[in-house]
Amino acid sequence: MFRVSILVSATISIVLLCTESSAKDEELIRANNEFASRFYQVLTWENKDEDFIFCPLCITTTMAMLSLGSNRVTTKDIYTTIGFPRNETAVLEGYQRLVEVFSEQVKPTRSMFNGMFVSNSVEVEPDFQNKLEKYFHSRIHYLNPKVKRNTQILKAIQKQLNKTNVGSDESDYEDETMKYMKVMALGSNASEFEINLANYLDFKAGWEKKFDLLNTKPEPFYVNSSEILIVNTMQQTGHYFMTPVPELDAQAISIPYLLCDGLKLSTPSFNRTLRSKPRKKLKTCKSGVKDSRLQMIVLLPNSQDGLRAMERKFTRQTLLSIPARFDYKTYLDLRIPRFQMVSKKNVADLASTLLENEEQQDYNNLSKTSSLHLGRAFHRVSITVNERGSRTKSSLLKGKNPWTHPKIVRVDRPFLAFIHDKKTDVILIVMRVIRPRSVD
């Protein structure tokens, strides 16, 4: 009998290449974005009055990796759950391209890596290892059963991120990672037949036009008709894409991030970069290399208590349809609360609920020497929304009338937001904010 623990870390680096997504990947990206809407609906059922955040791309990537080790029935089940195209080769080659796009970049996030950890007593199939390396730039890490797995996995993650974040202060990350590993509890309590999965994403990026700290002040946030919070609220005047979403009785506002394009750092993958030399840390964006391909889209109900009604009208196309509606910019006085979100979720509970043949799961393509089943699948995502942004300020739009009064938009009630990449059309992060946790 074998004790198996697998940690799949899908930490997604959010700065991307300039190339557009391949037409071959459109169906795969659509599946990711539709899954984001469906997964959001499931989480609203489980968390009726709570904040949450998740990374759909992390989850779908992890499930695609898991499908490599499963038999035909379980693979079909996974593909149905996520909504993948039926062509397995197209899915794997699509992720191969996406992993490459999302890896070697200037980093507004901590880093990216995909890794699996198994007991050294498990004999992993060579074909599985080869495909893992080829399509996901990952490889198997074997664990010593005599040493706590938490310790071994944490050391591997920290070693990887220290190489990724050259010259940066990782003390805060290490503290958070340690807390996360304790929550995961991948120790003696894990079943000897479990496949344990985990995602980690720490999103950090600067605004295209940063908010002035001097404009931030306490303002009311209306959680519901009987609960009002006083939260630190940022204020910014400028031109933003904004569009009505009448079928949801809501407004959508796009707040762009500023990325530095063309100045790249290598984000290591386990199979490549342990041998690579670190490059110098990028400090600023230089003129002419700015890229605002990432945007945070805020979906704000028109009424103070409109979030639940908006969520009931969701379809699998809801999030996917919003970015295409932005036609022109509006001069806004935008006011949005500071907030920080850290979500720790056992995705396995959801996966087990969605998978039609849970009791018939078979991962003998991963290892034929043991009978494995899906155990814990932890998913950790964190984001901080505050005034900080790039040191390079965006220029004012030409032709602006200085006497025009901006339209005041107050994000002062529960809302939905998601991070979207305009060039690949990938939805990276989805969050629901009901009680903003203020950050200093």
233-282 per-position pLDDT tens digit: 999 999 999 999 999 999 999 999 876 543 332 222 323 332 333 433 43
Residues carrying CATH 3.30.497.10, the chain: 23-205+340-384
Q: Where in the chain is the domain with CATH 2.30.39.10?
A: 207-266+285-339+398-433
Closest CA to 258 of 386, 389, 135, 379: 389
User: In 10 A of CB 314, how many CB atoms?
Assistant: 16
Q: Tens digit of pLDDT for each residue in 46-98?
A: 788 899 988 888 888 888 888 888 888 888 888 988 899 988 899 999 988 88
* Element housing 199 (H / E): strand 194-203
Above 80 in pLDDT, residue 286? no
Give the distance from CA 196 to its chain's centroid.
19
Residue 322 half-sphere exposure toward CB, CA atoms < 13 A: 35
**Quick one: pLDDT at residue 377?**
63
Sign for the pseudo-dihedral over CA of 183, 185, 190, 193: positive
pLDDT, mean over the chain: 73
Nearest to 296 by CA among 406, 413, 430, 392: 430
> 102-129: b or e for each residue (b if 16 or more CB lie within 10 Å)?
bbbbbbbbbbbbbbbbbbebbebbeebb
Look at residues 63, 62, 70, 58 and name the one whose alpha carbon lies nearest to residue 127.
70
Look at the block and give the residue holding tokens 């900080």: 388
* Angle CA 398–401–404, to nearest 5: 140
Predicted confidence (pLDDT) at residue 284 exceeds the cutoff of 80 = no
Is the Cβ–Cβ distance between 107 and 12 less than 8 Å?
no
Q: Check: CB of residue 379 under 8 Å from CB of residue 58.
A: yes
In 3D, which of 374, 377, 380 has the Cα closest to residue 347? 377
Element (H or E) spanning 323, and its range?
A: none
Vertex 63: Cα angle to 2 and 357 (nearest 5) = 75
The CATH architecture to which 23-205+340-384 belongs is: 2-Layer Sandwich (3.30)
Q: What confidence category does residue 400 fall into, taking pLDDT thresholds of 50, 70 and 90?
A: very low
Q: Which candidate, 391, 382, 104, 383, places its Cα nearest to that of 258? A: 391
DSSP type of residue 328: S
Specify whether the CB–CB gap between 243 and 252 falls below 8 A.
Answer: yes
Q: Who has greater pLDDT, 335 or 354?
A: 335
E strands along 85-151, which residues? 116-119, 140-143
Of 12-26, 121-135, 150-164, 188-202, highest mean pLDDT = 121-135
Nearest to 76 by CA among 94, 91, 93: 91
pLDDT above 60 (res 201): yes
Of the pLDDT bands very low, low, confident and very high (cuts 50, 70, 90), residue 115 is low
**Would the pLDDT of 307 be above 90?**
yes
Backbone angles phi, psi at 111, to 5 degrees: 180, 180
What local confidence, expressed as pLDDT, does residue 293 receive?
Answer: 79
Task: Judge whether 34 and 57 are in contact, CB under 8 Å.
Answer: no
* Domain 207-266+285-339+398-433 architecture: Roll (2.30)
Torsion of CA 132, 133, 135, 136, to 10 degrees: 80
Q: pLDDT category, 418, cuts 50, 70, 90?
A: very high
Question: Which residue is it, tokens 């040493």?
Answer: 147
Q: Give the residue among 380, 440, 373 at the shortest CA–CA distance from 52.
A: 380
Confidence (pLDDT) at 352: 57
Nearest residue to 140 (alpha-carbon basis) of 114, 112, 115: 115
- C-alpha distances out from residue 25 to 56, 67, 341, 359, 380, Å: 16, 18, 30, 32, 26
292 neighbors 256 (Cβ within 8 angstroms): yes
Range from 4-18, 150-164, 292-306 that averages highest in pLDDT: 292-306
Alpha-carbon distance 260 to 108, whole Å? 9
